[in-house]
Amino acid sequence: MQIYCCIVILLAACTAARADYFTDVGYDTLREELGASLPVATGVPVMIVEAGKTNDAGEVTYAPDRLNAAFQGKKITVGEGGPQVYAPFSGHATGVARRFFGLQLSVSPGIEQVSSYLVGNWFGPVFLRLGQVRPPKVTAHRVASHAWVGSAAKEVMDQANDDTLRRVDWLIETDELFHVVGFNGGNKAPLLADAFNVLSVAHTGFDRHRKTLALGRDYIAGRTRPHLVVPDKTPSAATGRVASVAALLVGVGHADPLLSRGATANRRGDKIFNAERTEIIKAVLLAGADRVTRNASGVDIVGYRVNGSNRTANGLDRRYGAGQLNIHNSYRILLAGEQDSAEDHASGGRMGPAGFDHDESFGGLGDSNRQATYRFSTGSVAGYLVLSLVWNIDIRGSGGLLAFDSTATLYDLDMLLYEVSGDNLIGVAESRSRRDNSENIHLLLAPEREYVLRIQPGAGQGPFEWDYGVAWWFVEVNVARR
């Protein structure tokens, strides 16, 4: 059995959190609104994957400090299949973990079950099973934090990097395990930000930006990274922060089945409602993000998509992705519930001011469901509408004892917005990327108008059947008349 080893580059260490962070990302607003009903992600099992560091005594450290007061009452399983090193702990891992599931700095302090992995062992027979014929391990985990960047060893670099990304993408789609990965803009580190189905994050003051690298036919260069930014000092800190919010949203989606119109099951047999599926959590985070910020805790977003060179084909900003995390917005989008397209429900596809939809069989047998239509009306006040469409790359994979099949298919979807004028539809915005697996629209809508949102295959997309998630958020604004 051959296990590929990896050269892992540790991201900058986390520093002390700033008190105004919770205000800047909308968490204080949510806390004031919900009070004792505030969700805390109780019952959501998670994993934290960290790079190892060898100390002077030759010990490999990678795990959070389980004796830290921030982790009181939590079960942190350390070293599955690898070194059982606990002391001394990793300061970097402790900093990420405090933001991910700690009692003071996390928005998901209810997390109790945590698995701590060393990157090299997580890649190997313990979990991902890189280089083996077996698929990745069956797991109950729902959110994973990866606050590291890196690449495979030189002698197997292209093959191992490519295989890693395919296995991660398959795991996200098949087991609904949401991956949040740190992104530092390095030019030689495709892991794991170059995967299609992950959510890549950086900090708002991030000034080193690149797109994805080219890894074979399917993992093409030029895709938008990062997806989201956070007002903290490092990509590592941002990773813990967003993983915490992802766990909160997964917990909300699982706790209230009425938010969803359908469900699936992972390989373990766990019931996964539509509101907690990976495409929906990603779409909700993108749609809820702030494109304009007034941070007390750090630097702000400057000129979102103002300069043409910062505009990506899928509607994001090459520096900030969808913008800065806003927990309040994303929670409200999810809580508005699933709202079907006109093709899937007798309601006629009416969109509320916020909400989401998961289409399980878009395209459909014989192209029977090749278009999805949603309708939306504005009231007496103008407002900003944000739309985010997300779908996963399809890795054939396998289950049970079958050999893992890394064959990949990336479907091409477009998102178009029209204004209704009598019997005509007038195009007002569109997102038509040919490289990414998300489309995004953000624009000011006029008051007292009727709009139609349409999701359809891109030009040249042949027959297919796949699923997608779309989320939206409309905020009324007062526009002064001249």
| Residues in Cβ contact with 63 at an 8 Å cutoff, skipping those fewer than 6 apart | 50, 76, 78, 79, 85, 86, 89, 90, 93, 116
Contact 192, 181 (CB under 8 A): yes
Class of domain 6-288: alpha beta
Lowest-confidence segment of 60-74, 145-159, 444-458 by average pLDDT:
145-159
- What was the pLDDT predicted at 15? 55
Same fold, 6-288 and 343-476: no
Instruction: Provide the strand spans (E) within 253-406.
Output: 263-265, 271-273, 354-362, 372-377, 383-390, 394-395
Please determine, for residue 4, whether its predicted confidence score (pLDDT) is greater than 50.
Answer: no
In this prediction, residue 55 carries a pLDDT of 80
| Span 50-94, pLDDT tens digits | 998 888 788 888 999 999 999 999 999 987 755 554 557 899 999
Tokens representing 156? 């197997």
What pLDDT is recorded for position 131?
Answer: 87
Q: Which of 92, 252, 279 is nearest to 176 (CA)?
A: 279
Q: Residues with Cβ < 8 Å from 99, sequence gap 6 or more?
A: 14, 17, 105, 106, 232, 237, 240, 241, 243, 244
Please tell me the predicted confidence (pLDDT) of residue 19. 62
pTM > 0.85: yes
What number is the average pLDDT over the span 281-306? 94
Query: Is pLDDT larger for residue 3 or for residue 296?
Result: 296
By percentage, how much of the chain surpasses pLDDT 70?
90
For the chain, the structural domain boundaries read 6-288, 343-476
Q: What are the residues whose beta carbons fall under 8 Å from the beta carbon of 331, sequence distance 6 or more?
A: 30, 39, 248, 249, 252, 288
* Span 315-320, average pLDDT: 94
CA 343 to chain centre: 27
The predicted pLDDT at position 53 comes to 86
Q: How confident is the model over 227-255, as pLDDT tens digits?
A: 999 999 899 999 999 999 999 999 999 99
Chain-wide mean pLDDT for the chain? Answer: 90
pLDDT at 2: 46
Ranking 198-212, 233-247, 357-371 by mean pLDDT, the lowest is: 198-212
| 335/422 Cα distance (integer angstroms) | 33
Q: Do residues 314 and 224 lie in contact, with contact meaning Cβ atoms separated by under 8 Å?
A: yes
Distances (CA, A) of 421 to 124, 281, 387, 428, 455: 58, 34, 21, 12, 20
68 three-class SS: coil
Q: How far is 218 from 38, CA to CA, in rounded Å?
A: 41
Higher pLDDT, 331 or 153: 331
Determine which of 8-12, 226-230, 423-427 has the lowest per-residue pLDDT on average.
Answer: 8-12
Of residues 210, 247, 213, 242, the one with CA closest to residue 228: 242
| pLDDT surpasses 80 at 188 | no
Query: How far lies 279's CA from each of 132, 179, 331, 431, 437, in Å?
Result: 28, 11, 15, 17, 10
Q: What is the pLDDT of residues 343-359, one digit of tens each?
A: 987 667 899 999 999 99
Read off the pLDDT band of 14 (50, 70, 90).
low
216: confidence class by pLDDT, cuts 50, 70, 90: confident
Interatomic CA distance for residues 76 and 47, integer angstroms? 9
The burial of 291, by beta-carbon neighbours within 10 Å (0-12 exposed, 13-18 middle, 19 or more buried), is given as middle
Structure tokens that stand for 194 in this block: 């170059």
What tokens does 379 get? 């009231």
- The pLDDT of residue 478 is above 90: no
Structure confidence at residue 153 as a pLDDT band (50, 70, 90) = low
Q: How many Å apart are CA 440 and CA 313, to the nearest integer?
A: 9
What is the longest distance spanned by two Cα atoms in the chain?
A: 76
Cα torsion 333, 334, 335, 336 to 10°: value is 50
pLDDT of 1: 35
Do the beta carbons of residue 143 and residue 101 sit within 8 Å? no
Of these ranges, 56-65, 202-211, 264-273, 337-346, the one predicted with the greatest mean pLDDT is: 264-273
Given a cut of 90, whether residue 98 has pLDDT beyond it is yes
pLDDT average, residue stretch 335-345: 93
Q: Label the pairing between strands 383-390 and 148-152.
A: unpaired
Residue-wise pLDDT tens digits, 376-407: 999 999 999 999 999 999 999 986 667 899 99
Is 480's pLDDT higher than 50? no
Could you report how far apart the first and last alpha carbons of the chain are, in Å? 72
Per-residue confidence (pLDDT) for residue 95, from 0 to 100:
96
SS3 call for 237: helix
Contact assessment for residue 368 and residue 343, using Cβ atoms and an 8 Å cutoff: no
CATH class of 343-476: mainly beta
pLDDT attached to residue 84: 53
pLDDT for 185: 76
pLDDT, position 481: 39
